[in-house]
Amino acid sequence: MARDDTTAAIKALKSKLGHTFSDEGLLDTALTHASALDPADSGRGSYQRLEFLGDRVLGLVVAGMLHRQFPRADEGELARRYNQLVKRETCAEIATDLNIGAAMCIGQSEAQTGGRMKSALLADMCEAVIAAIYLDGGFDAAEAFVLRIWKPRMLSFRGPLRDAKTTLQEWAQSRGLPTPKYDVVSREGPDHAPVFVVGVSVQGVAQGEGKGGSKRIAEQAAAEAVLRREGVWNE
């Protein structure tokens, strides 16, 4: 991608963020991959330290948002809603909506391997951007951004509020069975868009399989497959 295209993408991203940076270097750092830096600068000049901070800021804002929105929800429901909103896949989807991939500063080798589309990198840079807003404008600015982007997802969520892996484990334990065992059956697709097939084994029960873009998603799908087959899961 040409420098002019990246510059235009960064400009468009700033507009979507809804925050005017006093220190634009913070956003530049949040969008910089180590592959674009000299090895001596990769530790501090890339997004990684900001991603660490942004993850915590996102978690606090989302937890507060859920606590206010669902005053009657118990801890378990809040935790499941929370996990849906802060998981890597959600952050990657939001990064895609914001077109963060086009605004990344990455090295040629990383770009050639699909770096701008890698789910893990998109998720991490999304959190780094949150940290950049937090450091530049304080907690209120970061909170305003997260609420604007994440709240519609919170309100539109229609998925199960129970965790399939946890439910399967509890079901197995209630029958006096060992903890379910998960194994990767196969992995296909490019690095930026992998597809995992995971099998789950429960003693005395036919194996279940699930597919997903990460091991975690595939494990959940495998657990759900067993629960549905056994008539336990009706979500």
Domain range summary for the chain, segments of one domain joined by +: 3-156, 164-229
55 is catalytic: yes
Band of residue 43 on the pLDDT scale cut at 50, 70, 90: low
The top-scoring range by mean pLDDT among 41-55, 111-125, 131-145, 154-168 is 131-145
Cα–Cα dist 142/98, whole Å? 16
Annotation-wise, does 170 bind a ligand? no
| Alpha carbon distance 54, 28 (integer Å) | 15
51 is in an annotated binding site: yes
Which residue in 110, 127, 163, 235 is the catalytic one? Answer: 127
Output the pLDDT for position 44: 67
Q: What are phi and psi of 16, to 5 degrees?
A: -70, -30
**What is the arithmetic mean of pLDDT over 198-218?**
93
**pLDDT value of position 100:** 97
Could you read off the pLDDT of 67-123 as tens digits, one per residue?
Answer: 999 998 888 788 889 988 999 999 999 999 999 999 999 998 888 889 899 999 999
Is 140 among the catalytic positions?
A: no
Using CA atoms, how far apart are residues 57 and 127, in angstroms rounded to an integer?
8
**pLDDT of 225 strictly over 70:** yes
Residue 140's pLDDT is 98
CATH architecture of 164-229: 2-Layer Sandwich (3.30)
Give the CATH number of domain 3-156.
Answer: 1.10.1520.10
Residue 124 annotated as binding? yes
Q: What is the pTM of this model?
A: 0.73
